[in-house]
């Protein structure tokens, strides 16, 4: 224990950064649960698409979407979500998965859908980057 305290005192900046990162991770996890928008991993998303005919909404801008997106996804940039919610209501009875670039914007857009009566809303944890990292295909159609 003495060595641990000595390490912390000698490397307080490093220790502070470590504690800050842990707090950020905990905050993000709690925020996702409090907002009520569950996250799904890339392979879980493939199951939602194949088994439950999930609708995938990609909230990245048009240029990012054109460079590669999940097959069958609908592109509605997050800046235009409010204006397009009525168009999405036909998907209200199916699972809806929000995909963003890195998993940060998805929960906020999911809340907008939840506030408009959507019930089965998810967001892709890690966004399209996690999808790519999992080696899953993208299309440019």
In tens, the pLDDT along 92-112 reads 889 999 999 987 788 888 888
- The pTM of the full predicted model, rounded to 2 decimals, is 0.76
4 pLDDT band (50/70/90 cuts)? confident
Q: Is the pLDDT of residue 82 over 60?
A: yes
Q: Where are the domains of the chain?
A: 1-35, 37-133
Q: Is the pLDDT of residue 8 over 70?
A: yes
**Distance of alpha carbon 141 from alpha carbon 139, whole angstroms:** 6
Helix-, strand-, coil-residue percentages of the chain, each rounded to 5: 55, 15, 30
For the chain, what is the mean pLDDT?
Answer: 89
Helix ranges restricted to H, 11-135: 12-35, 42-52, 62-67, 81-88, 106-115, 127-133
Could you tell me which CATH class the domain 37-133 is placed in?
A: alpha beta
124 pLDDT band (50/70/90 cuts)? very high
Which of the residue ranges 40-44, 68-72, 75-79, 109-113 would you say has the lowest mean pLDDT? 109-113
Q: Is the pLDDT of residue 74 over 60?
A: yes
Phi and psi (nearest 5°) for 90?
Answer: -70, -15
Task: Return the pLDDT at 127.
Answer: 92
Q: Is the pLDDT of residue 51 over 90?
A: yes
Q: Is the pLDDT of residue 27 over 90?
A: no
Q: Is the pLDDT of residue 34 over 60?
A: no
Task: Return the pLDDT at 33.
Answer: 61
More confident site: 14 or 105: 14
């Amino acid at each position: 224990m003495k060595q641990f305290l000595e390490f912390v005192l000698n490397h307080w900046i490093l220790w502070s950064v470590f504690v800050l990162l842990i707090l950020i991770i905990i905050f993000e996890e709690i925020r996702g649960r409090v907002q009520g928008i569950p996250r799904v991993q890339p392979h879980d998303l493939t199951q939602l698409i194949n088994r439950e005919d999930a609708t995938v909404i990609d909230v990245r801008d048009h240029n990012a979407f054109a460079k590669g997106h999940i097959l069958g996804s609908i592109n509605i940039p997050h800046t235009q979500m409010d204006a397009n919610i009525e168009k999405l209501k036909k998907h209200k009875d199916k699972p809806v998965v929000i995909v963003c670039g890195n998993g940060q914007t998805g929960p906020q857009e999911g809340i907008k859908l939840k506030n408009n009566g959507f019930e089965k809303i998810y967001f892709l944890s890690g966004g399209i980057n996690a999808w790519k990292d999992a080696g899953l295909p993208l299309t440019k159609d």
